[in-house]
């Protein structure tokens, strides 16, 4: 009798485990992602942070689990009229710009904004990118050694655990505006295995060179903050040339571009875009001004895959 009871208990445990795995696989077949399109004001860190937090909450209310914010949205990238730019004394700057010292606005990582968005991510149970101008005087090879202060165009990934799980510094700053302040990134590519799939981070101008660097990592999705500036209407880039660029790499791209509060005399804002493997546009912004959130429900890396049983594992590089 005892043997039969023991056997029955084992069967129940096995069946319960199978049911849990089945329900886990069910949850992991698809995920809703969001690309937040909004403006920022250069140097208004607190104001920008409030706006971004409200948009992250809105995206979460609509069911998004991965939320991407525009390039340097916390600190601002350029003024909305493209007349004011970050500038370090002694660094070259284009004559079209009025310089603004980033020293009082840039943040360390970890720092106030990463702490804030890690708390938000934990509260809401989501992944959210944290794009900002980063200030650092620490040697990445020797944390105890101090260096001259450097400024990086940075994006971090805050996780539902309340921790930073990826910290990426833009490898290829756009020379025209960023030569006046940005040091090229020194942390290489950054990946993290979420329960939905492996994600990588990149920023705007990186797109011309970084996809090949991520190829060995076999990412499921590229989380891609953008502050695009173009000579012409950007539809050609976002709907044709960008899809052609990413198509051979067979992963999703969640591209969150900046916007402006009112029409400006330049091109590039708007058109936040989510691309499927193969370069198909699956969702795109419909507005140019103000805030808009672009959503897409996409298959996870584990959908219809034996890798589904790896769900929940985390890996960062």
Residue burial 12-51, b: 16+ Cβ < 10 Å; e: rest: eeeeeeeeeeeeebeebeebbbbbbbbbbebbebeebbeb
The pLDDT assigned to 232 comes to 87
The pLDDT assigned to 304 comes to 57
**CA 297/CA 254 separation, integer angstroms:** 11
Nearest by Cα to 170 from 141, 133, 143: 133
The pLDDT assigned to 296 comes to 98
* Residues of the chain predicted below pLDDT 50: 2-3, 5-6, 8-25, 306-317
The pLDDT assigned to 12 comes to 44
Q: What is the phi/psi pair of residue 217, to 5°?
A: -80, -15
Dihedral angle of Cα 251, 155, 270, 214, to the nearest 10 degrees: -20
The pLDDT assigned to 180 comes to 98
Q: What is the DSSP annotation of 259-293?
A: -BSS--SSB-----EEE-TTS-EEEE---SBS-EE
Tokens linked to 279: 């370069």
| CATH class of segment(s) 33-295 | alpha beta
The pLDDT assigned to 50 comes to 98
Nearest by Cα to 158 from 124, 132, 127: 127
Domain boundaries, the chain: 33-295
Model confidence, pTM: 0.88
User: Token match 């938000």: residue?
Assistant: 120
């Amino acid at each position: 009798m005892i043997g039969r009871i023991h056997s029955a208990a084992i069967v129940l445990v096995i069946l319960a485990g199978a049911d849990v795995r089945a329900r886990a696989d069910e949850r992991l077949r698809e995920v809703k992602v969001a690309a937040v399109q909004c403006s920022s004001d250069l140097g208004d860190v607190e104001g920008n942070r409030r706006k971004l937090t409200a948009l992250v909450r809105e995206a979460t209310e609509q069911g998004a689990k991965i939320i991407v914010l525009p390039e340097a949205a916390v600190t601002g990238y350029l003024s909305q009229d493209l007349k004011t730019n970050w500038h370090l004394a002694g660094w070259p700057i284009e004559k079209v710009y009025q310089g603004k010292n980033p020293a009082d606005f840039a943040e360390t990582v970890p720092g106030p904004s990463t702490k804030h968005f890690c708390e938000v991510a934990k509260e809401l149970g989501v992944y959210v990118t944290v794009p900002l101008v980063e200030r650092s005087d620490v040697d990445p090879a020797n944390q105890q050694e101090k260096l001259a202060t450097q400024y990086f165009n940075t994006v971090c990934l805050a996780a539902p655990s309340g921790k930073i799980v990826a910290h990426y510094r833009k490898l290829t700053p756009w020379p025209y505006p960023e030569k006046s302040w940005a040091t090229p990134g020194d942390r290489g590519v950054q990946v993290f295995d979420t329960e939905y799939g492996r994600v990588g981070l990149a920023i705007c101008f990186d797109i011309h060179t970084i996809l090949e660097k991520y190829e060995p990592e076999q990412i499921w999705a590229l989380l891609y903050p953008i502050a695009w500036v173009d000579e012409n209407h950007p539809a050609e880039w976002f709907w044709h040339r960008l899809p052609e660029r990413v198509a051979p790499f067979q992963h999703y791209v969640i591209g969150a571009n900046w916007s402006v509060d009112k029409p400006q005399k330049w091109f590039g804002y708007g058109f936040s875009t989510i691309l499927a493997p193969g370069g198909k546009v699956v969702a795109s912004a419909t507005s140019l001004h103000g805030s808009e959130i672009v959503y897409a429900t996409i298959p996870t890396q584990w959908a219809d895959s034996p890798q589904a049983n790896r769900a929940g594992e985390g890996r960062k590089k």
